[in-house]
Amino acid sequence: MIGKKMQDAMNEQIKQELGSSYLYLSMAAYFQSSGLDGMARWMRAQTQEELVHAMKLFDHIEDRGGKVKLLALTQPTTEWASPLTAFQAAWKHEQFISSRIDNLVELAAEEKDHPAGILLQWFVTEQVEEEASVSKVVQLLERVGDSGNGLIMLDRELGARVFTPPTTADAAAQ
Ligand code: FEO
């Protein structure tokens, strides 16, 4: 059975993951309206990734006899000055999420909550990947600078990203 402290902290993290999903969907809308369909597609895939993250926590609480409580989401930003600014904001956001995961890991240790600790290790690894993938795009956009052709080529490259839903084996490994 999950303890109340961990349950509340995970419910808060579900909100953060859904908030991330909402933010990236807002970025997808921004890119789409800017004619950057590849970047929009990249952000749509990221939106779906975040839903998977939220559901991992949702299932963990339910599986351990806890109660999922969905909290209110705040309205995400809708406009960015440039594609670079948007990806920089996404990178900063991922760093914020990583710090929240670190706090949850510490709480699991304090509470001697080993099942939560094991699940959270998955999130620790995932956050390394999340930060790396966004920072790579930031670097590429910095290199592209004001080159319109470079932006079009990068947009095409980012549009190749496809969301891969978790498999049953992934779910069993949680
Ligand atoms: Fe769920 Fe992008 O962190």
- Whether the Cβ atoms of residue 73 and residue 82 lie closer than 8 Å to each other: no
Assess whether pLDDT exceeds 80 at residue 19.
Answer: yes
Kindly give the number of the ligand 1 atom that is closest to the alpha carbon of 46. Answer: 2
For the record, the structure tokens of 15 come out as: 């909100």
Domains in the chain, please, with CATH?
4-165 (1.20.1260.10)
Q: Is the CB of 130 under 6 A from ligand 1?
A: yes
Provide mean pLDDT across the span 103-119.
Answer: 98
Of the candidates 124, 119, 114, the residue with the CA atom closest to the CA atom of residue 170: 119
- Say what the pTM is: 0.94
* Distance in Å, CA 67 to ligand 1 centroid: 22
**In whole angstroms, what is the distance from residue 93 CA to residue 46 CA?**
13
Kindly give the number of the ligand 1 atom that is closest to the alpha carbon of 98. Answer: 3
Cβ-based neighbours of 17, under 8 Å, separated by 6 or more = 50, 51, 53, 54, 57, 97
Q: What confidence tens digit (pLDDT) does each residue in 115-125 have?
A: 999 999 999 99
Q: What is the pLDDT of residue 75?
A: 97
**In whole angstroms, what is the distance from residue 152 CA to residue 38 CA?**
9
* Distance in Å, CA 6 to ligand 1 centroid: 19
* Cβ count within 10 A of residue 53: 23
Q: What is the pLDDT of residue 166?
A: 84
Q: What confidence tens digit (pLDDT) does each residue in 148-166 have?
A: 999 999 999 999 998 988 8
